[in-house]
Amino acid sequence: MDCTISRVAWDDDEAVALRAAQRAELDLRYGGDTEPGTKPTAADVAAFLVARDPDGAPVGCGAIRLLGDRDGVPWAELKRMYVVPAARGRGVATALLRALEQTARDLGVVDLVLETGPEQPDAMRFYSREGWTEIPRFGAYADSEGSRCYGLTLA
């Protein structure tokens, strides 16, 4: 599917609706809100992207949360990556991921990381297929047995 991807404010109506849809899906998979750590907010998200289908309907989203420097290397976390079920398997996730990776590069990020979980095997396969590597749990996820973390060094 051809899609357009644009940066929007965290509190944009479409952004809020997409995050709510993602949260509802995760609650079904995990049996309630089980997110470890601090939830992202407008104050700590450097960029929020929305993907739209050819008719302009929002079909996906994702965010970049800057984490500062780790051993002198700027790093960030990919957050709220989501594609609506009707748009899955049509290239939206890959296009959105590439746009998020480029946005992180533009922000000066070298290492990009993310957290997912065992009830999202589709996400784990996707990130592996897209060149991400499973890494040790980090930050708020370090002690979370239900977390699976991935990383990508941006060239």
Q: Is the full-model pTM beyond 0.75?
A: yes
In angstroms, the CA 134 to CA 151 distance is 6
Which amino acid, residue 121?
P
pLDDT of the residue at 50 = 99
- Which element (helix H / strand E) includes 47? strand 45-52
pLDDT digits (tens, 9 = 90+) for 14-57: 999 999 999 999 999 998 767 787 889 999 999 999 999 999 99
pLDDT tens, residue by residue, 77-126: 999 999 999 999 999 999 999 999 999 999 999 999 999 999 999 999 99
Q: What domains appear along the chain, each with residue ranges and CATH number? A: 4-153 (3.40.630.30)
